Structure 1
């Protein structure tokens, strides 16, 4: 755990820089309808782009098609929508993948499994849905839905699910600290082949221990975009703050479950100035946090770079900010932040304030960034160079009211 002095120095000194690299951003797709995520199975050259309104688009060579259309099931109001996608570790043999969305009928979080006819197919079977789990949301609240889902190579078969605290300022429901509520948490479950799930060994509240069996970590506000280092299995959690600070939490692959990240009593590395709650005993400070200001005010979590195009960047964690459109990188050097660097100028990022929505990682380890304008860019000199990834423009509906709100991830 780092001292608040270290946190403040690192967060406040945006002049601290590491080596500069020719990151060479390349436009690979445009015309998407509010893209919120991008991923692919390990080793797969295709790109799978998640649109907030309910479609998963697949890009291969020069063609683009709809892999799965869930728009009839998804409520995309405010921070609701189709929010997460993860491919089963055995996707090559079972064609199975998972989605996280807000259901149009119940307005609750749904995590469901779907299958494709084969791993190579560019169309999934919409009739193959199997409910894995659902999480009850707070009636009337449209924000803080998080929605990231993913696997860790070092923890085979266990699906991690990020849930926000359910919405409203300063978590009046107290869900984030309530270990009998699955909101404001990282959940960890074993999806079953026929739907549903079992509880993995090692979950901190499993069995007779008080607390929901599914919970892995708690005390989170809106962990909207997270990632797993494909090489080490380390887990990076980017939790959107309230009015004061943005935080990035780090769990090594060896970290046991049960961490409490402190919300709502804590916001980043400080006591939440809006509530009188005492800090929870044992609450874990973020690995890195920054005050609202020149860096922005809504963190967008990214990835540790493991591509082959820029060997000197290997191990650097990239992240950004929705409010400012700025992009940064840092390293974890023995539990201490190293080489904190602003990368905005190097990337020549076109994302101004309130536009950057997500980062993505393809099946080869190359990194991407995307925004509300519907554009997707690859950066860090991808290898190999994919041929002609241009999505035909058109059908771009950004949702002007959503963008005008200026706080879609708050």
Structure 2
């Protein structure tokens, strides 16, 4: 848990009227018309996470154009059975969580929305967010002590929400990035994934950064075996040329002419997004959650706290990396969801789903145009008797309007916003 500093307080409330919230939400809301949490439903009637596609952000240029590549190089553990994870060669580097990541400081939800509308034009969704928001709802329900701010933008009937890098979403310095580099052999963290989550009555488009992914080598070897089985019996080693190879030779010169050519770039109409390379995604990777802790600070309880991350990302396991002053103390260890999930997690999910519906139903009732941009804050910083920022409320505020020609706080570009307004009305 991050410490709430004076700088955090300044940033949390710098564009809202702290003493004039729109409303607030408590953790005891059940959707059943009463506040007794013991009457809350104990299971989810409708929950499913379906991964849609993976992509890598290649460029987030000054001209506001975002160039992506479908799939890309996934962060896969290079050799999970390697026994040499201990020793000086595994010294972790202490640096910021975001180092090597392409940070989208403007129009941060442009890519997932544009790609989904292009690749899945008939897919319906009510909300666009990240797994951090849904995990926050579960942690709020479970009475954890955290603090977050989420910015909200309403575009027609579509609601977009994303965490702001303050409080527990702040990218503080950590050994996690160093652990990822050792496990995957990669220095960048540009691999992303888009999923659709059915959460109670809401259909939510989720964008997430993928730190680790399961290897998909099994499918590849199956394809190779199939090809070998269907071709080996047709040609003998005595044949001077396989017909396939013979037909290929005349085209080699043509292929060489294209090797040095840059991959074509396709611009998605009505957006600031362009796709470099193939336009059809491969099968999405299965994510793996990761937790990096010092040996002294590790406990099974803080491993258990990662269950919302796993369930909303669709991960089957979490990998823990323990270190002593930056030196890996043991071989990374895997835990399944069943290993770490607390007994009451289904009850938590049901109550979080009811709270999620309550929040977004309220947002949709707001009719004034100056309420299209809001902030949802969870912090224990009560300063006056009337202050509801007591750690027991999620407080919704109206954000002040940006009068500049280019609104850097907008989640999507003006062209995509116009397109969404024609669809989500």
TM-score by length of 2: 0.27
Q: Tell which has more relative contact order, 1 or 2 (C-alpha 8 A, sep 6+).
A: 2
Larger helix share, 1 or 2: 2
Higher strand share: 1
Give the TM-score normalised by structure 1.
Answer: 0.28
Larger Rg belongs to: 2
